[in-house]
Amino acid sequence: MKFTRVFLEAIGYELPQHIVTSSWIEEQLAPLYRKLHLQPGQLEALTGIRERRWWGHHHINAVEAAKAAKKALAETDIPVEDIGAVVYGGVCRDNYEPATACHVAAELKVRAETAICDVSNACLGAMNGIIDIANRIELGQIKAGIVVACETARDITQIMIQRMLEEGTMEFFKQALATMTGGSGACGIVLSDGSYGHKGPRLAC
């Protein structure tokens, strides 16, 4: 669909406090590095990533996503009552049923009539959510909507570190390297029909 009246109003984000450096990950992989005769610094050199963030052990994806959404909303003139749809597009979800978006919507205190759903499509979930909201706005079904996502990399990184140590081969090291690039964070993206005081860039696709 060609969008003629969909505007990106604001983006908000939330970052975890816990910083995990590539050098710390390599310390956990020290036995493997010694076995494969790898020099420290390879992870940062190969990925370009010096550090990433992790949430605490008991974080809730929906809560962090809602914080990001509230930050984004605060940058606009859009009242929460006008939010016609909330889409959660993260890979990481708190549960499958009810949708994680339900918890986000409750945190935001949107109207009971607001459309709420999760969209799952790997790294493209948030983008699919943007298109979903944009379609609703272009068709005149809603005036504004929010796309949210929250990702957490702690568990998968720790699991992969253990597997790399157990496998102990260069082949598996190469296969698992991409997992070490993951980080944690949350975002909130507000879209509207442009009828509010502040108007962001228009979606042209």
The catalytic site residues sit at 97, 123
- CB-CB contact of 83 with 111 (8 Å): yes
Q: Tell which residue, 173, 175, 157, 181, has the closest CA to residue 34.
A: 173
Q: What number of CA atoms fall less than 13 Å from residue 159's CA on the CB side?
A: 6
Q: How far apart are CA 135 and CA 112, in angstroms?
A: 21
115 has which bridge partners?
Answer: 85
For 51, the token pair is: 């550090």
- CB-CB contact of 21 with 50 (8 Å): yes
